[in-house]
Structure 1
Amino acid sequence: MDFAIAALHDAQATRYLSAVGFVVLVYDYVLTVHEEVRLVWPAPRSVAKWAFIVNRYFVISVQLVVAYAIVFKGCKHFVFGCGMLAITSVGIANILVLHRVVILWDHRALILKIMVAGLVFGFSAQLIAIVITLLNITPGVSWSSTAGMCILTQPSRVLLVVWASPMLFELLVLVSMVLNALDRPRAVHQQLTRALHRDGISYFLAITVLRIFNLAVSATAIRRPSQTFLGVFFVWAMTNTVLNRSLLSFRRAELE
């Protein structure tokens, strides 16, 4: 009985937290769509331009579907589909970040090779981990008529790797941006902190906080599987909100 009550509370918390993330994502879109139209749409055709547009609307669309499908009784299909869509979004986002880092370093070949290697390693580890996780947890996914949504009864320790593996690439990017800020000639009156924030350090600090939150929730979910989805959709929405803000800021700086 205690487990059932805890699972019900976790299901409600998951629903509300996911809704908060979706509302923030849509609200931020409304606030920034005019900048997207002004800064991105007129830009020349490029992989980065289309990747940004696809990822921006892809995540909003998927989050909208999740808002409905989270109460869909086909739980196993729902969990597997969300997992693969999420990893696709992460891959696109990382490519966008890599593109910006390479631009900051004036397309230096060595930086490109290092960043691509970090991206491939981190994404491969995450992809393998999420497939293993889905295979582990899918048999334990079931529909709860009481909670009105899908809940998990079987944990997976590999889920920790899913959230930890992207941090390798993000740490690499963070170090790269710090070194880039130190490497650039700066005006004497310009404070280093301001330059670092403008170069995107604040973005990666925000992402790190979100990753740590997911790791903490995943750690507790090992003992309490019903918490597995608690932060997934919220963090996904918030990560893309921060990413979109940062990319628009970078684009604005390019044009000024």
Structure 2
Amino acid sequence: MLTYATSGFSEDILSDSFCQTWFGVGIVVGMVSIGTSNFLILLRLWVLWDRKTRLVLVTLSLFLVTQITAIVCTTYVVSSMMPLVVFEPYLHSCILTQKVNFVILWTPGIVFEFMIFVTTWWNALDQPLPQHAKMAKVMYRDGSIYFFVLFGLRLLNLILSIVSPLSLMFLGVFFIWSACNVTLTRLIINSRRAAVEAEESLFIDVYTYSPRSWPLLPRQGSCVSENYELQGKGPDIEICTRLSSSVTSVAT
């Protein structure tokens, strides 16, 4: 709809109210989409941090504060922008007739992502050998890509909103929206892949057979499947204990 309204390729004559509605909807849905992506990243990080209460509370509080601020700022920007959006018949496009203060639209997201990035790497340095090594590798690699891409694009949009002419105000908006979804999808797919690999590795460790076909004891700690962590659950120590006991009795 936004392409239809702003590309200039359509020969339809649109109303100003149509332009105002879809500009507002586009900004709101875009900010909600990015906020949802940030929360999904936060859920993955909580798993990686073994749900340490202090870290969870601090990052959750930061997320709530920045998102509430973003909602207030988005509401203000959309309400200020509405009267300034009109349809230009000569260009066959919806246009913004005057600059709006988009600086406040990008600032909360920049603050949140920077603080999460610092917290993640501070925790990584504090615990350089996390228990869930495969997931940690995925999160630190793809999470860093996610951070640098989104942080860079937010910064670009922030700079454009300050120094650019009116015609370039929306230059980076759709880049950050699409890049957010692409990088988040990459992270989730890779974390799922790490989960499958961890589950297969656990299966091989537990059901290893000797030449006499007697099951051997699993390696110490191998029963704590990383897949539990990737699915948002804690390691099932009771199941591990029963499994080790049953394998011991069979081997005996």
The bucket for the TM-score relative to the shorter chain is 0.5 to 0.7
Q: In the alignment, is residue 239 of structure 1 matched against residue 180 of structure 2?
A: yes
**Deviations 1:14-44 (CA, angstroms, capped at 9, x unpaired):** xxxxxxxxxxxxxxxxxxxxxxxxxxxxxxx
Within a 5 Å distance, the mapping from 1:1-256 to structure 2 comes to: 65-70=1-6, 73=14, 74-157=18-101, 159-186=102-129, 197-198=140-141, 200-221=143-164, 224-256=165-197
> Which of structures 1 and 2 has the larger relative contact order (alpha carbons within 8 angstroms, sep 6+)?
1
TM-score by length of 1: 0.65
Offset, 1:118: 0.8
Does the CA contact (< 8 Å) of 1:210 and 1:239 recur in 2?
no
Offset, 1:128: 0.8
TM-score by length of 2: 0.66
**Deviations 1:112-153 (CA, angstroms, capped at 9, x unpaired):** 111111111111111111111111121111112232221101
Aligned positions, number: 184
**Where does the alignment leave 5 or more consecutive residues of structure 1 unmatched?**
1-64
Offset, 1:207: 1.4
The whole-number CA distance in structure 2 between the counterparts of 1:120 and 1:196 is 22
RMSD (Å) for aligned C-alpha atoms: 2.3
Does the CA contact (< 8 Å) of 2:37 and 2:180 recur in 1?
no
C-alpha change, 1:163 and 1:185, in structure 2 (3 Å) is closer
SS at match of 1:242: helix
The whole-number CA distance in structure 2 between the counterparts of 1:242 and 1:79 is 25
Identify, as 1 or 2, the structure richer in helix.
1
Offset, 1:209: 1.0
**Where does the alignment leave 5 or more consecutive residues of structure 2 unmatched?**
198-252
The whole-number CA distance in structure 2 between the counterparts of 1:213 and 1:111 is 30
Larger Rg computed on CA atoms: 2
C-alpha change, 1:201 and 1:153, in structure 2 (3 Å) is same
